[in-house]
Structure 1
């Protein structure tokens, strides 16, 4: 499984509807679930592991710090058909810290290593780690190398590094995506010092041009908000980053493919806006982009809204946008 380009796990954003939509745009990108806690999987009433078969390659991101619970959930994920299990060691929110997982685990590399070992003992799929470059005042390069080295000794050979340290106190999760400044050189140096590891970088990447720059130094690039807010930027991923020769679906073709998906969702009791909210940015940069967003925002939440809302929104656009 190639990790050249992946879409970041984003809470409330990268749900199964977004992932189905994203897969229509790129066949090669590695997709991640939202972070799911071990407690939700083990004790929750919903099916937190559900996904569409079309989403592969697909990784489950887990939040937790109990090795036995993580191993149990990793085994369930492998049995359900996930292609990878990823441990979240990057989220800085207070709720996550109170549960003793996320970025605060960077201060406990031995525990992270124990968690990785427990998961690897029960699954054959890759067990990977997503982390920061540091936390609070523990942000030296030596701190990062100690963490990576300890976890790598437990058998983890795939890391995604969010190239920004996390402030565990005083900043919101949103502020932690913007403060302090990004330090891509730290990720580059980790790759130089641990050349046998597969290292991807995450944070602030806004274009495929930037991806190509990072790929001169690293094995992969993970893109978050840009892949959500301007999803059609992924239409160039397969050809530019994977060398594919197939032609991507046009925006209009993506909309047409989403109509039967939305029909199934509504038939199962879902609402139209559960799906359409992920599609608002599809026509970004195109004539009629504002009209597309407005039509869906004003109509998809209404009682009785059905799958034809997508066809109607497309028909409301200028002819050149409809053909894009």
Structure 2
């Protein structure tokens, strides 16, 4: 495990005491930011962001535990191995990272694909999970009829061979149009630049197309639907693990149908309104998320 200084993610944004750490995993490394001591609180991001998504939470949750926010493989300051970057690849590298740090009594704070991987890890390491918070998670097949028409159109382009590569890789529209468009209040240019910094060239963006192409919409791709379905038994049976779902207005991936499914199929669950937000709600509602984490920890400790 080594500390390095050549970063695209500004460590000072996470507050006093935060450190950048590289953890060797498999044939590469995962970078994470961490601060504090105690039981780990692990923050997992999704597409196309990084640990930087959770910088506000570090200050708001100081003293609540060992705060750890990794960059998924191929994102942020983590390594870029020659892999397909399918869901199973991300899972392998994240699993190796959890093992390298020997994390136990873990509270998971999950967004987007970070939820898919975090819940998968929890389902296979049930004795190491303390609590789970979901905020705009990828957790279930999404019906296109509930998604914004512009996003559905972009997805259609991205999933078309050739057109998708031009949209995401060559023209960089996923980072310069789709990402900035997913906020109620425009993200500051300096913050947007941090998310864009790891991907300055077409060559650096080739794998970015994998996440949007793997997003399960109307049952496609079936492999993603099946991946998420493998977690359902644990979600329904883990009565000893408190869970919180935060919902947002207008929200994005967590459609009313998905909210209802979560209410009916996830054990030991509380659902709370998180306020106004779209998808990257950690940028828009950090205080509400921090308050929900504190309340979730209290539920876990009261077991």
Q: Shared topology, TM-score over 0.5? A: no
Return the index of the structure with the highest Cα Rg: 1
Structure (1/2) with the larger strand percentage: 2
Q: Please give the range of the TM-score, normalised by the shorter of the 2 chains.
A: 0.3 to 0.5
TM normalised by structure 2 equals 0.34
